[in-house]
Chain A
Amino acid sequence: MNSKEMTRPRRKQPPRVGDHPAFRRSLLAVVILITLLMVVAPLLVIGVQAFSLGIGYFGETIANSDTRHAILLTALTALIAVPINTVFGIAAAWAITKFDFPGRRFLLVVIEIPFSISPIVAGVSYLFVYGLQGLFGDMLQSADVKILFALPGIVLASLFVTAPFVARELIPLMQAQGRDLEEAATSLGASGWRTFFSVTLPNIKWAMLYGIVLCNARVMGEFGAVSVVSGNIRGQTNTLPLHIELLYHDYNTVGAFAAASILALLAVVTLIAKVALERRGAGRRPTLAAPAPQTEI
């Protein structure tokens, strides 16, 4: 992240603003203290609580059939939703960065919309499409197709909240890489697919993986949108985050933290993967979580 300081010529520099030792030390102390309290303590309390009744109880909770089902359902949802949003991300990035068409900028904004919307609004919106009171409610009921309060509803809500993840990693990168390589490949006679797989994909693979890692973390952890559309049926439509809520409200705090520790572990693994991928150049943009507005090509 800070390769800049390497390239800067080393010379004797006067102290910069904020470099006064006393100021520096006290600011550092305050910031590190607050970070420990605000970020490390929650992580720590999850671990402490999860094992507070011993490793045996922890094992029991994880092995409980409802918890196991919740883990499987969450994994299954991610297994469906992440590849779909990856394909969407690649298609959107290819269309937007390799071609000029009217409405490109508008499309960029539309792709980012799910990030700005409360997950609850996302869930409610899906209710009004596929629910009994929704647009297709009667149709679906007469055809006996169940979307809400079942796996398809959970997947759809997850698709909505994570739709931009891969696209927003690929679009700025492919924009910066331009079209020359692909144009050279096709003019030498490569097919479109060949061009994509042997020219484009090697250049975007780390950024794509970066998007996939973040997308996966969000799918597995999504709470608000899924809680509206899932119906919280224990052992059936309860994803892991919903199962944590259920255990917590059953006054099974230790059980809730045991289940939460799995997701906390996932979060830590996600952060490690993120740092590793950033070392390979992925994820470098003006802002991490923000829609990066595009400059003209």
Chain B
Amino acid sequence: MARRVLPGLPLSLGITLVYVCLIVALPLGALVFKAASLGPEAYWEIVSSDRALASYRVTVLCAFAATVFNLVFGFALAWVLVRYRFPGRRLIDALVDLPFALPTAVAGIALTTLFAQNGWFGAALAGVGIKVAYTPLGIIVAMAFTSLPFIVRTVQPVLEELDPALEEAAQSLGGSDGSIFVRVILPLLAPAILAGVSLSFARSLGEFGAIIFIAGNQPFETEITALLTFIRLEEYDYQAAAAIASVLLITAFVMLAVTNLLQARALRYTVKA
């Protein structure tokens, strides 16, 4: 290790550690402490109650559906942005980030209005008998909107760096477009796609603001776990709120670990270029 010549370690590290402890670790610790103080039996009873289980099911299934949609559409979007030149490309490239820039509550009321019975989309869909607002479909729409940028932004840079020579080689060996895509391009993009998928899924699991407006929020039907936590708080049932929030926290940590692993792998492929 080189001799330390730069100043400022105690100050910068001090600020960082104190801040991380006060702002991040202390509250999360308090939550874990509160949930742990329930005791295993009471804790288990809350987190495995029928209503909680139903909320996990709704949240996970909708997040899964939203992620599958974003996997296909996000990939197509990244492909179009990287491979094709067309008027308005830069504008669309910039618009991809709108779901991150637009506050979730604003997205929530906008999507609800679009998909309500008399809304632009809702009226058209009602004609074919599809109801989106106040159904699980609405939750999926809100989740897909808020997590749209993840897969686009993880796939895009890797796609840009892809060496055309690999495709040319495959073509000269007589591969069809379809088989080159499946056997050459997809495997190279797989780590980036997986990383994007896990980020997108994690975000959908925790999303709150955009969903509660469009979901209808019926217990057992359209109630997500984050909302159930919020409802328990409003009922002053702090123990239940702590227990259910701790489930979300554990899920977040598991997803964080998965994402970091996948990203470390994805980075190995991007950094080389």
Contact = CB atoms under 8 A, between A and B. Distances in A.
Interface string B1-37: 1001111110111011001100111111011011000
Contact of B167 (A17, A35, A40, A100): A17
B219 interface: no
A90 B255 CA distance: 27
A18 B181 contact: yes
B106 A264 contact: yes
Interface stretch (B42-50, B130-138, B201-209): B201-209
Contact of A99 (B6, B109, B209): B6
Contacts of A82: none
B263 A163 contact: no
A35 B77 contact: yes
A23 to B, nearest CB: 8
A275 B94 contact: yes
A245 B105 contact: yes
Interface in A161-201: 163, 179, 182-183, 186-187, 191-192, 195-196
Contacts of A187: 5
Contacts of A163: 19-20, 23-24
Nearest to A23: B177
Nearest to B176: A17
B177 A18 contact: yes
A38 B76 contact: no
A124 B227 CA distance: 12
A221 B30 contact: no
Given A31-B80, A88-B19, A119 B209 contact: yes
Interface stretch (A59-67, A125-133, A204-212): A125-133
B58 interface: no
Contacts of A111: 16, 20, 24
Interface string B232-270: 010000100110010011001101100110011011001
Contact of B263 (A159, A241, A291): A291
Contacts of B56: none
B30 A135 contact: yes
B13 A186 contact: no
Contact of B8 (A94, A127, A267): A94
A124 B24 contact: no
Query: In terms of DSSP, what is the predominant structure of the interface of chain A?
Result: helix
Given A88-B16, A290-B154, A260 B109 contact: yes
A295 B109 CA distance: 41
Instruction: Pick the most buried of A125, A191, A241, A275: most chain B CB atoms within 10 A of its CB.
Output: A125
Interface in B190-208: 195-196, 199, 202, 205-208
A257 B145 CA distance: 19
Given A118-B208, A125-B31, A244-B109, A267 B103 contact: yes
A145 interface: no
Given A98-B8, A183-B5, A287-B195, A40 B263 contact: no
Contacts of A6: none
B189 interface: no
B16 to A, nearest CB: 4
Given A124-B229, A260-B110, A118 B207 contact: yes
A78 interface: no
Contacts of B221: none
A266 B9 CA distance: 37
A163 B205 CA distance: 20
A114 interface: yes
B97 A288 contact: yes
B12 A94 contact: yes
Contacts of B181: 17-18
Given A95-B13, A186-B7, A16 B164 contact: yes
14 contacts: A37-B121, A45-B119, A88-B16, A118-B252, A121-B31, A125-B31, A127-B233, A241-B103, A241-B105, A245-B213, A286-B157, A286-B266, A286-B267, A291-B260
The 9 closest A-B pairs by CB, nearest first: A221-B103, A118-B206, A192-B7, A125-B27, A223-B209, A42-B110, A91-B15, A288-B153, A267-B101
Given A14-B171, A124-B31, 7 more contacts: A91-B12, A91-B16, A101-B13, A114-B24, A118-B226, A119-B208, A192-B8
